[in-house]
Amino acid sequence: MNILETRNLEHEFNGYSVLKKVNLEIRKGETHAIIGPNGAGKTTLFNVISGMYTPSKGKVIFKKKDITGFKAYKIQRLGMGRSFQITATFDNLTAFQNIRMAVLSRKGIRFNLFRFVDKMNDVTTETINVLQNLDLWEACHTPAGMLSYGKQRSLEIGMALATDPDLVMLDEPAAGMSADETHTAVSLIKKLTKEKTVVIIEHDMDVVFSLADRITVLNHGTILATGIPKEIKANKDVQAAYLGRLEDE
Amino acid sequence: MDKKTRWMFWIAGIIIFAIFPKLAGIYYSNIVVSMSVWALFAVSLNMLLGFTGLLSFGHAMYFGTGAYGAALALTHVNGLSFFSAMAAGCLCSVVLSLIVAPVVVRVSGTAFAMIHLAFAQCMFVLALKFRNITGGEDGIGGFSVSHIRIPGLFSLDVTDPAVFFYLSIGTVILNLLVLWFVIQTPFGQVMAGTRDNVKRIEYLGFRVSHTKAVVYVLAAGSAGVAGAVSAMHQNLVAVNDAYGMMVSVLPIMIVMVGGARSFFGPIYGAVFFGFLEEYVTAYTDKFELILGLILIIFIMYWPLGLAGIFLKLKFKWLTRKQFLKRSGGGAG
């Protein structure tokens, strides 16, 4: 069963077409990687799906519901969470408060002006659990802006996951990380997304091949190929457009 | 601070509050009242600026509307008490903010600041031109606030400065407590999140425009209360003191000097500016010049304001105490 589908999705910026007839199918429970050279339109695809932009043409179907043109908050409430390539945390709030924000969202506590947030014990317990899972417990009182880059990235992924979405969209979770940090991040993602559907944009081929059940290759705004990692590795077009160039380096 | 010292602190505060008008006299009581009005006004601005990340160059529109609302209610309705007039002022500001909110919550940053400059100037001109209602440049004055009575029990004469002191300070503290509480709720967290990262807040499923609207109306209502108390305190509302440019700029200065990151910062700032005005105007009438200089010094050297300085001193004192405790055995 497909949890997410895009049908002939197109998007253009000022007449320059970034996505052309993209038909993406994400099956429930799989980890699906989207790869492609710089400027292929991967992040734009994410933005169109998750509600930052309304697509110029085409449809986005999430859980059998047409969500084309929905605002981001609405799509999130339907069960889609995402992380950003450029870390988007609350820099002046502590790691604890950052995660708590996601927990509050999950519990649907949005306009409560009548209780001390510090005294909501269920929220606090859940936040502590998430922080321990993320290995951020020791840094819980540090403002997010003062955390090390690796920890900030963990927090970024953690916030996307702490709302307990059915579909997680991770935009280059390992961007700018060292080899060690990448390794930690990959095992973290594996551990936390066991029963979830994950769509992940990634440049690091090791990450892609260790995480993904299926891979979609995007080039110049069109889908070049979709398949299991073995097929993608063997695909001639893909090699020419992307992998081949990497091997030359 | 442990529980016992906190209680001592509160009790001491209440005692000082109770005997202050007797002890310090009418003149200083009045200064404290106007300080508290500015403190509430600045804190209400800081709900937008420091806690939600919205800079308004026209917060005077709510202060002024509260002041005019209270003054007009007192002029046209007979036998209105302190609290009803205050409620009238607050209500006027809330209604105005509800009208403006659908527009302003959609913008942020510079657009938010400038749109408020425009709205506040509109209110200024309207108040100036509709002189049959507002009295134009002369303003509205000489309205009488009737006694607060519970038949058979007591009757409070609000024109007595000491009574007015208790009522106005009590009102301001109550309103400040409400705002402080809001900061501590889950909604307060969402406000801070909106300040730090709008995109993330949206992608966590919170509606940014609704969040902003709620804070906005709260801030407007509190500014309205400040305006109403100020109108009754002066027994006069004139257009320059209600909607004037300085009325919008001064709370921003108070917040910057007091510290925007702290809830209590603007209160320190208001006290500081109150004393400053008292002493500077004794020597020169170029008060604004001194204000500007002080603002520059604070922005350059103490960007966290007075609240930041206090926090630093407290931290130093605590580490010193801990150091002494640790080395206490050897030294003693």
* Contact flag B192-A116 (C-beta cutoff 8 Å): no
List per-residue pLDDT tens for chain B, 332 residues long. Answer: 678 888 999 999 999 999 999 888 899 999 999 999 999 999 999 999 999 999 999 999 999 999 999 999 999 998 889 999 999 999 999 999 999 999 999 999 999 999 999 999 999 999 999 999 888 888 898 888 888 877 777 788 888 889 999 999 999 999 999 999 999 999 999 999 999 999 999 999 999 999 999 999 999 999 999 999 999 999 999 999 999 999 999 999 999 999 999 999 999 999 999 999 888 888 988 888 898 999 999 999 999 999 999 999 998 998 888 888 776 544 43
Q: Please name the residues in contact with A148: beta carbons below 8 A apart, sequence gap of 6 or more.
A: none
* Contact flag B204-A101 (C-beta cutoff 8 Å): yes
pLDDT at A118 over 70: yes
Q: Which of B298, B278, B310 is nearest to B34 (CA)?
A: B278
Q: Residue A148's pLDDT is what?
A: 92
**Cα(A69)–Cα(A73) distance, rounded to whole angstroms?**
12
Q: How many helices (H) and strands (E) does chain B have?
A: 14, 4
* Contact flag B197-A91 (C-beta cutoff 8 Å): yes
Query: pLDDT tens-digit profile of A71-83?
Result: 999 999 999 999 9
Query: pLDDT tens-digit profile of A20-51?
Result: 999 999 999 999 999 988 888 999 999 999 99
B177 touches chain A (CB under 8 A): no
* Contact flag B203-A50 (C-beta cutoff 8 Å): yes
* Contact flag A71-B195 (C-beta cutoff 8 Å): no
Residue of A nearest to B209 (CA): A73
A242 touches chain B (CB under 8 A): no
Q: What is the residue whose two structure tokens read 């400038």?
A: B114
**For an interface test with A, which of B201, B203, B210 has the most A Cβ atoms less than 10 Å from its Cβ?**
B203
The confidence band for A238, taking pLDDT boundaries of 50, 70 and 90, is confident
* Minimum-distance CB partner of B200 among A50, A90, A116: A90
Q: Are A33 and A200 in contact (CB under 8 A)?
A: yes
Residues of chain A with pLDDT > 90: what percent? 70
Alpha helices in chain A (DSSP H): 42-50, 72-77, 95-106, 121-133, 149-162, 179-192, 205-211, 229-234, 236-238, 244-248
How many other CB atoms are found less than 10 A from the CB of residue B166? 17
Q: Which residues of A touch B201 (CB under 8 A)?
A: 101
Query: pLDDT tens-digit profile of B193-226?
Result: 999 999 999 999 999 999 999 999 999 999 999 9
A138 touches chain B (CB under 8 A): no
Q: Which residues of B touch A104 (CB under 8 A)?
A: 186, 189-190
Q: Residue B195's pLDDT is what?
A: 95
* Minimum-distance CB partner of A88 among B195, B200, B261: B200
Q: Residue A210's pLDDT is what?
A: 87
Q: Which residues of B touch A78 (CB under 8 A)?
A: none
User: Which residues share a beta bridge with B225?
Assistant: none
Q: Domains (ranges, CATH) in chain B?
A: 23-327 (1.10.3470)
**For an interface test with A, which of B179, B196, B210, B217 has the most A Cβ atoms less than 10 Å from its Cβ?**
B196
List chain A domain ranges.
2-248
Query: pLDDT tens-digit profile of A180-215?
Result: 888 888 988 998 888 899 999 988 888 898 899 999
Chain A with chain B: Cβ pairs closer than 8 A: 90
Q: Which of B144, B96, B135, B145 is nearest to B239 (CA)?
A: B135
Q: Residue A248's pLDDT is what?
A: 46
**For an interface test with A, which of B200, B210, B215 has the most A Cβ atoms less than 10 Å from its Cβ?**
B200
pLDDT at A15 over 80: yes
* Contact flag B193-A93 (C-beta cutoff 8 Å): yes
B200 touches chain A (CB under 8 A): yes
Architecture field, domain A2-248: 3-Layer(aba) Sandwich (3.40)
Residues of chain B with pLDDT > 90: what percent? 74
pLDDT at A52 over 70: yes
Query: For B302-328, b where at least 16 C-beta lie within 10 A, e where not — what string?
Result: bebbbbbebbeeeeeeeeeeeeeeeee
* Contact flag B204-A102 (C-beta cutoff 8 Å): yes
Q: Which of A6, A37, A44, A43 is nearest to A237 (CA)?
A: A37
Q: Which residues of B touch A163 (CB under 8 A)?
A: 204-205
* Contact flag A90-B206 (C-beta cutoff 8 Å): no
Amino acid identity for residue A132 in this structure: Q
Q: Which helix (H) or strand (E) holds B33?
A: helix B3-52
A43 touches chain B (CB under 8 A): no
Q: Are B171 and B225 in contact (CB under 8 A)?
A: yes
Interhelix angle B161-184/B208-234, rounded to 10 degrees, is: 170
